[in-house]
Amino acid sequence: MIKYYTRVCNFYSGQKSKEKVKEGLALPISNNNLLSFDTIEIITRKHKKKIHIKEIKKQSYKIKKKIKEDIKLIIGKKKFKGLNFLNFPILMGVINLTPDSFSDGGKFNKKNSGFHRASYLIKKGCEILDIGGESTRPGAKYVSKAIEWKRIKKTLKKVRKLNALISLDTRKSWIMEKGIKNKVNLINDVSGFDHDINTVNVLKKHKIPFVIHHMQGTPQNMQKNPKYKNVLLDIYDFFENKIKKMRSLGIKHKNIILDPGIGFGKNLKHNMTLINNISIFHSLGFPIMLGVSRKRFIKDLSGNNDSKERLGGTISSILYAMTQGIQILRVHDVNEVNQSIKVFKSLNFK
């Protein structure tokens, strides 16, 4: 049986988008008339075909039915407790309370530096703080739950007073339970809740919002020759199957975010395919998060223009993601990224 996937493309922004939507020549992304599309790409494992929205009615019954079902999810208003996606993108600020994270290990794990960093990130425009005590960079060593909790507990207790959603970046159910008791708002498990079989029970018990993140393998082996039949469609199927599993276990709320996991068990080609076609995930009906900040693919593409912070490559990737309607961006350099977004939106979304 052939499975069809729907990817939106050919986007419009700002005033032109509003006019196109008003005239019925384009459809809005997530109920936001400032960003719209007029073309659908229908994809199978063997073929793909672009169809203008005016041509949908001319397609076969099966394809027409599939497109209409997916468009309903694509254009529908995204709902997530505590977030307003009409003012997109939302920034998630990274706080690694570790000695060995790939780009900022050791910077914010001393005394009150984690809390001060959190305050600064909120001041500069992030709405979500993602706090973690275990590095999951390629080759990172496993950290015990006791050490991980020791690294984050003081900062978690302090940041509760700040005006932001608190995301807990962990793979361990014990840490999740401790974090939830300390009023975290969101669970972000890079393993997609596959590392610890009890994590799904924690989600069900507390009905807490969460990120479904894709990773092939583990931090120890994920970059050792990762392989896919079709990276884009394989990850789409992963999300679809994971959501079905969550629903079957009784997790019915809609406070779910999808993250394709750039750099987590992907080579350069895989990462580029995902970023170039990331709008396919809109048809799953949930907000999409993208983490490209300072990642290795920027070095691979920029060659001798690489830099420690990789700010230029981070910003260009983020602005591209904005034009695809990505709702949440996970970043280290909140101030500089927010500056670029404000300028870009003034030029393109007014």
For residue 256, the model assigns a pLDDT of 98
Q: How confident is the model over 306-318, as a mean pLDDT? A: 96
Return the CATH number of the domain spanning residue range 85-348.
3.20.20.20
Distances (CA, A) of 293 to 90, 159, 333: 14, 23, 8
Please tell me which residue in 137, 151, 330, 345 is annotated as part of the active site: 330
For every residue of the chain, which 3-state class applies, written as one string? CCCCEEEEEEEEEHHHHHHHHHCCCCEEECCEEEEEEEEEEEECCCCEEEEEHHHHHHCCHHHHHHHHHHHHHHHCCCCECCECHHHCCEEEEEEECCCCCCCCCCCCCCCCHHHHHHHHHHHCCCCEEEEECCCCCCCCCCCCHHHHHHHHHHHHHHHCCCCCEEEEECCCHHHHHHHHHCCCCEEEECCCCCCCCCHHHHHHHHCCCEEEECCCCCCCCCCCCCCCCCHHHHHHHHHHHHHHHHHHCCCCCCCEEEECCCCCCCCHHHHHHHHHCHHHHHHHCCCEEECCCCCHHHHHHHHHHCCCCCHHHHHHHHHHHHHCCCCEEEECCHHHHHHHHHHHHHHHCC
- The percent of residues above 90 in pLDDT, for the chain, comes to 88
- Alpha carbons 294 and 291: distance in angstroms, whole number: 9
pLDDT per residue over 31-58, tens digit each? 999 999 999 999 999 999 999 999 999 9
- Alpha carbons 140 and 171: distance in angstroms, whole number: 14
pLDDT per residue over 261-288, tens digit each? 999 999 999 999 999 999 999 999 999 9
- Whether residue 100 is predicted with pLDDT greater than 60 in this model: the reply is no
- Alpha carbons 40 and 192: distance in angstroms, whole number: 29
pLDDT per residue over 330-343, tens digit each? 999 999 999 999 99
Neighbouring residues of 195: CB distance < 8 A, sequence distance ≥ 6 = 171, 172, 189, 218
- Whether residue 109 is predicted with pLDDT greater than 60 in this model: the reply is no
For residue 106, the model assigns a pLDDT of 47
pLDDT band with cut points at 50, 70 and 90 for residue 172: very high
- Alpha carbons 79 and 286: distance in angstroms, whole number: 8
pLDDT per residue over 68-79, tens digit each? 999 999 999 998
pLDDT band with cut points at 50, 70 and 90 for residue 111: low
Most confident of 1-5, 97-101, 108-112: 1-5
Answer yes or no: 330 catalytic. yes
Do residues 83 and 286 make contact, with C-beta atoms less than 8 angstroms apart? no
Q: How confident is the model over 305-322, as a mean pLDDT? A: 96
- Whether residue 20 is predicted with pLDDT greater than 70 in this model: the reply is yes
Q: How confident is the model over 233-244, as a mean pLDDT? A: 98
Among the ranges given (198-207, 214-223, 239-248), the one the predictor scored with the smallest mean pLDDT? 214-223
Q: How confident is the model over 165-192, as a mean pLDDT? A: 97
- Whether residue 108 is predicted with pLDDT greater than 70 in this model: the reply is no
Answer yes or no: 117 catalytic. no
- State the span(s) of the chain assigned CATH 3.20.20.20: 85-348
- Whether residue 112 is predicted with pLDDT greater than 80 in this model: the reply is no
For residue 63, the model assigns a pLDDT of 95
Please tell me which residue in 137, 151, 266, 295 is annotated as part of the active site: 295
For residue 99, the model assigns a pLDDT of 79
Do residues 282 and 29 make contact, with C-beta atoms less than 8 angstroms apart? yes
Is the bond leading into 260 cis (omega within 30 degrees of zero)? no
Residues, the chain: 350
Do residues 299 and 337 make contact, with C-beta atoms less than 8 angstroms apart? no
For residue 105, the model assigns a pLDDT of 43
pLDDT band with cut points at 50, 70 and 90 for residue 350: confident
Query: For all residues of the chain together, what is the average pLDDT?
Result: 94
pLDDT band with cut points at 50, 70 and 90 for residue 103: low
pLDDT band with cut points at 50, 70 and 90 for residue 137: confident
pLDDT band with cut points at 50, 70 and 90 for residue 349: confident
